[in-house]
Amino acid sequence: MTGLPAWVSAALQRKLENISRNDLRRRAQAISDAYRAGGGSDIIRSELDALAYAVVRMPATYAAVRAALSQTARIIPDFAPRSALDIGAGPGTASWAACDAWPCLQRATLIDRNAPLLKLARELHDLAVAPQVEVSAQQADATGALAHGLGADVVMACYALTELPPAAWQAVLARLRSVTGRLLVIVEPGTAGGFKRILDYRNFLLAAGAQIVAPCSHDDACPLAQTPRWCHFNVRLPRSRDHLFAKGADVPFEDEKFSYLIAGEGFGEIQRGRRILATPKVGKAGVALTLCAPDIAEDRVIARNAKEAYRIAKRCDWGDAIER
């Protein structure tokens, strides 16, 4: 399971001191209801709202982004970014995941139009023994911030493009690519709608000459585009005591489903393998895998008598990649 870094958890606990857990729970429920109804971060208007959001939502967002970055690091292990630009940063979740994935990171710029969330991001970084990363935060929307010529080795838009009007995403995505030094990271909810947006972003970036790094195994048309199935992945995360209480939950873990796209510049020939698109099934014949491949999602069985390949396949999980 993928939990928040210890320093983030410690800083969040310090912020929660003397906060009424019943008030926290009420605000968490109101925020969840607003998001389910199609609303955005405008519902978050106070320090209590920001803390409620961080308790119930930051762990899942962190786990999804960290999982996407882990897969990326396996494909481009020599990539060592020094700077990150986090669009729609909220409480800094994607930036904290980038710090964990790339300890070489030196500078992170957080952009969000929500003042309470940005304030919380700064406080989390300042309250604990955080990574030695210079963090700056700017209150602005994506369009306004990108117009100022900001740039970084890694540009991230995680659960952020979802809130854009349908007519705005192409202009924003073009600008995101223009300020990306090497790597563009996009994470969306793992719903059919989230995948449809990811597919649109993929087609747009490929047409613009970008290099797809993950999760795709190829640059051809996506074989899932015209099927009821959609490309998404799952990560399990632990729930803290406050998380359980705020959500009114009994199960000590949560599963976050997400879709993602990593596009790069200048990485040359990379080995992406075949991405596993569902939970592997271990049976008498071997390990049954559904793999990302051109034309159609490939069903492959790794037989038990193929000892080394079987050993590797048995250790693989949904979202991992295997050699072609």
- pLDDT, one tens digit per residue, over 252-281 is 999 999 999 999 989 999 999 999 999 999
Instruction: Assess contact for 152 and 185: CB atoms under 8 A.
Output: no
Q: List the one residue out of 122, 93, 111, 118 whose CA is nearest residue 147.
A: 111
- Give residue 37's pLDDT: 81
- Give residue 40's pLDDT: 82
**Domain coordinates of the chain in residue numbers?**
6-264, 274-322
- Give residue 150's pLDDT: 82
- Give residue 191's pLDDT: 96
Query: Could you say which of 3.30.2130.10, 3.30.420.10, 3.40.50.1220, 3.40.50.150 is the CATH number of the domain covering 6-264?
Result: 3.40.50.150
Q: Which residues are bridge partners to 290 per DSSP?
A: 299
- pLDDT, one tens digit per residue, over 271-323 is 999 999 999 999 999 999 999 998 888 999 999 999 999 999 999 999 999 98
The list of the chain residues with pLDDT below 50 reads none
Q: Which residues are bridge partners to 255 per DSSP?
A: 236
36-41 long-range contacts, CB within 8 A, separation 24+: 40/163, 41/90, 41/112, 41/113, 41/114, 41/117, 41/163
